[in-house]
């Protein structure tokens, strides 16, 4: 395995300034991401108390239920050590783990935890927060696989409850098994195909929900790394969160205003975020008969749903938080705060979108008299095998350019050079010649009569159309003649710039596991990749 840093050219203004340490954006965070913060952060954590014993017990039960390896259970036990800290990040429970950025995030968390433990000499535990409370099934119900010239989206259709938390939606095992078998038929059979099928079948058999299946797959892929998983919608998690929900409810006006004002300032400063927040946002969901309803605070102080389908007084909502916390859940704003209250977080690792909205949260943390944890950008990888590497060399395409911009322009330029002189140049010259030759005729026609002049103008236009038609046909013939090479350009684009973006945002791990097995993941987690680099090219 070889790894090479790649500089991206399409990062947002916020991410560029954040990586470059500009004060304009760093003022929205409590820690600078790439300066030494660990001693200061550990000191801040030592002045706070965490319910480590109960948290460890809940994590043990949760992870054992998913068939966690012994390495994970030992890590959870270490959490009882008052000096221990965690490196944490999370994602939704995507089908077959979802896009590759989920895998890349897991690798980031494990790598950074290992590095910090060696440096600090204290237990640093990698924790992955599964967003089981999310209810948008369409975000997780599909994967993309290569299909000839382009990526194809394969959707797993389910009859689950539309707005029910994913961790409560039962997985139709028979239906899923057939869907997965059909997926494997889209891939070329290799020495790893059968073992993948067996792993998925085993995980599927022992899983009840999408979160169960997701967790078991992660443990199969990272079974030696001591990765700890946490389902944010687990009943045990809700018991741990009960008192914090009460605090949220009491501090709602301060939380809502802090986030709203900061988000407004960010937008004024040119740092557009993905947050859409208002002063009446409660930043909590209520589960009403399996439907997750986002709460707001109306002018009378009541907590209501968007359609006024439910309504609670503050005292009633506090009573729910104390006695039925499983009916409440966090939204995108309060999830980071809950994470911070439950775990001794040395650092949070997130993607560009997450860092964007975290920029609006600093004052919310301060409402609870705690600091926002250090926020670090996750690792970003594009994976390249020997076949793709050879194509890049053969077509003289720089991989950095293919990753950041795609190669459509190079393909067009190459095609135009397959005829001497290039077809587009010839047609342009011919149109210029027609214009010059036809100009006197056009002028004479206009002098005779205006309608004759219009006819002459149309005549030129028709000649151009005929030339365009011929050009199109000639280009098609050249493409047919060079079909093999064009297919190679398309394959490169599909692998390195699918759907006009980074590989990790489209591709799923299945294709890579089928071709290379899981060994490359174990190798990659033991490599020290700096989080300061925007992207890495991994040669498999």
Distance of CA 165 to the CA centre of its chain: 19
| pLDDT at 433 (0 to 100) | 84
Q: What is the enclosing helix (H) or strand (E) of 402?
A: helix 399-405
Burial of 446 (0-12, 13-18, 19+ CB in 10 A): middle
> Does 263 lie in the same domain as 248?
yes
| pLDDT at 420 (0 to 100) | 62
> Does 396 lie in the same domain as 369?
no
| pLDDT at 148 (0 to 100) | 77
Q: What is the enclosing helix (H) or strand (E) of 337?
A: helix 334-342
> Does 198 lie in the same domain as 106?
yes
172 backbone dihedrals φ, ψ, rounded to 5°? -75, 95
Q: pTM of the prediction?
A: 0.89
pLDDT of 92-116, one tens digit each?
999 999 999 999 999 999 999 999 9
Out of 5-14, 105-114, 311-320, least confident range: 5-14
Cβ(349)–Cβ(76) below 8 Å: no
What is residue 510's three-state secondary structure? Answer: helix
Give dist(CA 106, CA 227) in Å, integer: 8
Mean pLDDT in residue range 206-216: 97
In a domain, 457, yes or no: yes
In a domain, 298, yes or no: no
Q: How confident is the model at residue 436 (pLDDT cuts 50, 70, 90)?
A: confident
Q: What is the enclosing helix (H) or strand (E) of 437?
A: helix 423-448
> Does 223 lie in the same domain as 114?
yes
pLDDT of 480-522, one tens digit each?
767 888 889 999 999 999 999 999 999 999 999 999 999 999 9
Per-residue pLDDT at 462 exceeds 70 = yes
CATH number at residue 181: 3.40.50.620
Bridge partner list, 352: none
Give per-residue burial for 225-234: e unless 16+ CB within 10 Å, then b: bbbbbbbbbb
More confident residue, 516 or 420: 516
In a domain, 86, yes or no: yes
Q: Which structural domain range is residue 425 located in?
A: 386-508
pLDDT of 361-400, one tens digit each?
999 999 999 999 999 999 999 999 999 999 999 999 999 9
Q: Which residue has the tokens 């640093």?
A: 124
| pLDDT at 161 (0 to 100) | 61
| pLDDT at 481 (0 to 100) | 65
Mean pLDDT in residue range 413-440: 80
Q: How confident is the model at residue 526 (pLDDT cuts 50, 70, 90)?
A: very high
Q: How confident is the model at residue 271 (pLDDT cuts 50, 70, 90)?
A: very high
> Does 19 lie in the same domain as 168?
yes
> Does 394 lie in the same domain as 345?
no
In a domain, 229, yes or no: yes
> Does 435 lie in the same domain as 338?
no
Distance of CA 265 to the CA centre of its chain: 26
Cβ(187)–Cβ(511) below 8 Å: yes
Q: Which residue has the tokens 């053969």?
A: 394
Distance of CA 164 to the CA centre of its chain: 22
In a domain, 305, yes or no: no
> Does 89 lie in the same domain as 76?
yes
More confident residue, 290 or 351: 351
| pLDDT at 424 (0 to 100) | 78
* DSSP type of residue 384: E
Per-residue pLDDT at 127 exceeds 70 = yes
Cβ(30)–Cβ(362) below 8 Å: yes
pLDDT of 274-289, one tens digit each?
899 999 999 999 999 8
Pairing of strands 535-539, 381-384: parallel
Bridge partner list, 153: 144
Contacts of 469 (CB under 8 A, 6+ apart): none
> Does 420 lie in the same domain as 466?
yes
What is residue 118's three-state secondary structure? Answer: helix
Contacts of 189 (CB under 8 A, 6+ apart): none
- Return the percentage of the chain with pLDDT > 70, whole number: 98
Encoding tokens for residue 164? Answer: 């029910």
Out of 78-82, 232-236, 437-441, least confident range: 437-441
> Does 232 lie in the same domain as 83?
yes
| pLDDT at 265 (0 to 100) | 96
Nearest to 347 by CA among 525, 119, 140, 503: 119
Nearest to 327 by CA among 284, 297, 283: 284
| pLDDT at 419 (0 to 100) | 63
pLDDT of 472-491, one tens digit each?
888 777 767 678 888 899 99
| pLDDT at 160 (0 to 100) | 61
* Calculated CA dihedral for residues 57, 58, 59, 60, nearest 10 degrees: 50
Number of other residues whose CB lies within 10 A of the CB of residue 84 = 21
In a domain, 81, yes or no: yes
Q: How confident is the model at residue 162 (pLDDT cuts 50, 70, 90)?
A: low
In a domain, 472, yes or no: yes
Per the structure, the count of domains in the chain is 2
> Does 124 lie in the same domain as 135?
yes
Q: What is the enclosing helix (H) or strand (E) of 142?
A: strand 142-147
Out of 163-167, 247-251, 334-338, least confident range: 163-167
Per-residue pLDDT at 172 exceeds 70 = yes
Mean pLDDT: which of 157-166, 310-319, 423-432 is highest?
310-319
Q: Which residue has the tokens 């557009």?
A: 272
Q: SS3 breakdown of the chain: % helix, strand, coil, rounded to 5?
A: 55, 15, 30
Out of 184-193, 211-220, 264-273, 410-419, least confident range: 410-419
Q: Could you give the maximum distance between any two Cα atoms of the chain, in Å?
A: 99
Per-residue pLDDT at 422 exceeds 80 = no
In a domain, 302, yes or no: no
> Does 195 lie in the same domain as 132?
yes
More confident residue, 321 or 149: 321
Pairing of strands 281-288, 291-297: antiparallel
Give dist(CA 518, CA 213) in Å, integer: 18
Nearest to 423 by CA among 371, 359, 479, 384: 479
Q: How confident is the model at residue 272 (pLDDT cuts 50, 70, 90)?
A: confident
What is residue 50's three-state secondary structure? Answer: coil
């Amino acid at each position: 395995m070889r790894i090479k840093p790649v500089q991206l050219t399409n990062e947002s203004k916020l991410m560029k300034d954040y990586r470059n340490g500009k004060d304009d954006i760093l003022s929205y965070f409590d820690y600078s991401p790439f300066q030494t913060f660990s001693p200061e952060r550990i000191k801040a954590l030592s002045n706070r108390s965490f319910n480590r014993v109960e948290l460890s017990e809940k994590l043990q039960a949760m992870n054992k239920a998913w068939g966690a390896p012994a390495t994970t259970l030992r890590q959870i036990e270490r959490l009882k050590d008052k000096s221990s800290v965690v490196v944490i990040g999370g994602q939704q429970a995507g089908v077959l783990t979802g896009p590759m950025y989920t895998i890349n995030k897991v690798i980031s968390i494990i790598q950074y935890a290992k590095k910090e433990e060696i440096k600090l000499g204290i237990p640093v535990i990698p924790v992955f927060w599964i967003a089981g409370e999310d209810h948008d099934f369409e975000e997780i119900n599909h994967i993309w696989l290569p299909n000839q010239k382009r990526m194809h989206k394969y959707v797993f259709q389910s009859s689950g409850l539309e707005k029910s938390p994913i961790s409560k939606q039962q997985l139709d095992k028979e239906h899923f098994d057939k869907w997965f078998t059909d997926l494997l038929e889209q891939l070329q059979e290799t020495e790893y195909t059968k073992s993948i099928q067996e792993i998925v079948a085993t995980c599927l058999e022992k899983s009840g929900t999408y979160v169960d299946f997701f967790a078991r797959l992660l443990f199969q892929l990272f079974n030696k790394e001591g990765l700890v998983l946490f389902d944010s919608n687990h009943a045990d998690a809700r018991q741990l969160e009960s008192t914090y929900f009460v605090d949220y409810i009491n501090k709602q006006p301060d939380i809502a205003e802090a986030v709203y004002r900061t988000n407004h300032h960010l937008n004024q400063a040119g740092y557009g975020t993905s947050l859409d927040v208002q002063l009446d946002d409660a930043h909590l969901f209520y589960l009403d008969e399996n439907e997750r309803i986002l709460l707001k605070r109306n002018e009378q102080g009541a907590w209501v749903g968007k359609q006024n389908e439910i309504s609670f007084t503050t005292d009633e909502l506090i009573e729910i938080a104390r006695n039925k916390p499983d009916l409440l859940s966090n939204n995108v704003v309060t999830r980071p705060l809950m994470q911070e209250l439950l775990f001794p977080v040395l650092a949070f690792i997130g993607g560009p979108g997450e860092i964007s909205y975290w920029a609006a949260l600093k004052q919310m943390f301060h409402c609870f008299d705690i600091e926002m944890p250090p926020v670090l950008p996750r690792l970003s990888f594009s994976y390249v095998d020997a076949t793709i590497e050879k194509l890049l060399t053969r077509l003289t395409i720089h991989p950095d350019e293919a990753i950041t911009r795609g190669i459509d322009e190079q393909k067009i330029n190459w095609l135009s050079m397959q005829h001497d002189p290039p077809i587009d140049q010839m047609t342009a010259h011919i149109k210029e010649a027609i214009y010059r030759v036809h100009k006197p005729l056009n002028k004479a026609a206009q002098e005779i009569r205006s309608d004759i002049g219009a006819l002459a103008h149309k005549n030129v236009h028709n000649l151009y159309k005929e030339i365009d038609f011929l050009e199109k046909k000639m280009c098609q013939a050249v493409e047919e003649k060079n079909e093999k090479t064009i297919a190679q350009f398309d394959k490169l684009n599909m692998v390195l710039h699918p759907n006009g973006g980074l590989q990790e945002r489209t591709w799923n791990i299945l294709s890579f596991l089928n071709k290379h097995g899981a060994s490359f993941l174990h190798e990659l987690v033991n490599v020290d990749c700096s989080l300061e680099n925007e992207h890495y090219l991994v040669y498999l």
